[in-house]
Amino acid sequence: MTGSDGYPSFTLAYVPGVTPGKWVRTWNNRLPEVPLTLIQVSAAEAAGVVRDRDADAALLRLPTDRTGLHAIPLYTETTVVVVPKDHLVATAEEVCADDLADDIVLQPRDDTLDWEQPPGRPAIERPATTADAIELVAAGVGLLVVPQSLARLHHRKDLAYRPVTDVQQSRVALSWLEEETTDLMEQFIGIVRGRTVNSTRGRQPASPPAKRKRPAGDGNKAAVRKSAGGNRRLGSGTPNSRKRGKPRRRS
């Protein structure tokens, strides 16, 4: 992407809970002349901002509509249940879906987990956002099952969260337009994949230096010198092959 001043730039969208900071720092170290702009978007908007070219790439959650997009899965998040601190679940190290069967489990409209069958009992109404659902958990209305990064993002002192071992998990991916794999995009792909600055991926191998031509006479001299030197080394430590003359008599 080119900025309004005509210079190259890179815009990265990311969804709540995803923390691109370490990759941004690496970018700034490697490409200080190319500004990287971050924009936070909702999970539902992430793919759209890339298609509309409002961002060069997005860190989003799968599954999503990937029509016209590349997507590289980066990592999978632990799923947790957010509960009031005095809830029985807060005393456990981890729980399974059956442990939540008797509880109301809230499912906000921006939920990113691809549920076939959500755990617990459904609420009468769905909260609009995860932030709204957190408020309802604090009020004792129900529990909330989310990726761990969202539980951390909305953490409160009066709430706790514990891993849920047998439910859907959220995958975070890097996504960009199929026809827009630019040099800057390749640079960012390399950064998120942990490639070093000296990685040769995507680069053309350097051409070997041209050999210097020697004058015809020099080549023969070099061959003679090499041959002579070789004979001396091979002869080192062996008896001299020249014939010796007869010893002189002493007078």
Encode pLDDT of 52-74 as tens digits.
999 999 999 999 989 999 999 99
CATH code at 79-168: 3.40.190.10
Q: State residue 3's pLDDT score.
A: 59
* Cα–Cα dist 137/86, whole Å: 12
Under CATH, which architecture does the 10-76+171-192 domain have?
3-Layer(aba) Sandwich (3.40)
Q: Which residues of 48-78 are buried (b: 16+ CB within 10 A; e: fewer)?
A: bbbeeeebbbbbbbbebeeeebbbeeeeebe
Helices (H), 145-198: 148-153, 183-192
Specify the 3-state DSSP secondary structure of 249. coil
Domain ranges of the chain: 10-76+171-192, 79-168
Predicted local confidence at residue 213, as pLDDT = 52
In this predicted structure, what is the pLDDT of residue 215?
52
Q: What is the pTM of this model?
A: 0.75
Given this model, what pLDDT does residue 7 score?
A: 82
pLDDT tier at 152, thresholds 50, 70, 90: very high
**Same fold? 10-76+171-192, 79-168:** yes
How do residues 203-245 score in pLDDT, each as one tens digit? 443 344 444 455 555 544 444 344 444 444 434 444 444 444 4
